[in-house]
């Protein structure tokens, strides 16, 4: 089983903000594969279904971003207890302020790079050895406050490209599940428009 966790904050006031891209990708995958992410379990909204011939659990932690690891760890522990020797494989999807808006990076493992939600997941599950999809959100100009920006509403320009960006991240998640991380990295880790090198 794959446990696909998209990071975000619960509540309507946070729905259309950069920090909630992970939630939007889970919603996209749920719509594509007819999975209802409505069950409340382990302080998260979850839904089970099939993607690429694999069993998946789509997860939207409801603990607020900085405590995302609480729900993720509880669900991983539950699935491990159920399956015994074949625990769920974690795939994390989240926004990344270090990357420009629209850039996508698939990584097999790594640090949190200062992302509080990812930091909490790493701390709670006890490892950073899990694949992730990082979705760039930097607007391309100097920010007075990164913390304020990630919780601000999408700009008109961002809204215009939002569906394609979320769709591309959902494509990457499907690829990881069906084909593995290495092949997905080769397919999706391309340069963002306006940049000269991989990030």
Query: Does an H or E element contain 61, and which?
Result: strand 54-61
Q: How far apart are the first and last CA of the chain?
A: 30
The span from the CA of 58 to the CA of 77, in Å, is 15
Catalytic residue numbers read 19
Task: Report yes or no: 134 and 94 within 8 Å, Cβ to Cβ.
Answer: yes
Task: Report yes or no: 23 and 39 within 8 Å, Cβ to Cβ.
Answer: no
Q: Under 8 Å CB-to-CB from 124, ≥6 apart: which residues?
A: 69, 70, 72, 73
The span from the CA of 53 to the CA of 66, in Å, is 32
């Amino acid at each position: 089983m794959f446990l696909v966790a998209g990071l975000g904050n619960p509540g309507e006031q946070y729905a259309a903000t950069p920090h909630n891209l992970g939630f939007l990708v889970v919603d996209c995958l749920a719509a594509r594969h007819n999975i209802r992410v409505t069950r409340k379990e382990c302080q998260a909204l979850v839904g089970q279904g099939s993607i690429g011939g694999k069993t998946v659990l789509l997860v939207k932690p409801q603990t607020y971003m900085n405590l995302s690891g609480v729900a993720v760890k509880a669900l991983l522990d539950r699935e491990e207890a159920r399956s015994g020797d074949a625990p769920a494989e974690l795939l994390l999807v989240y926004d990344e302020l270090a990357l420009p808006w629209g850039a996508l990076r698939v990584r097999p493992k790594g640090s949190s790079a200062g992302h509080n939600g990812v930091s909490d997941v790493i701390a709670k599950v006890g490892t950073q050895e899990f694949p992730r999809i990082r979705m760039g959100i930097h607007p391309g100009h100097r920010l007075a406050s990164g913390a304020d920006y990630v919780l601000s509403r999408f700009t008109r320009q961002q809204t215009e490209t939002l569906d394609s960006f979320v769709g591309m991240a959902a494509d990457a998640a499907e690829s990881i599940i069906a084909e593995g991380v290495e092949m997905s990295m080769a397919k999706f880790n391309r340069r963002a428009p306006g940049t000269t090198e991989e990030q």
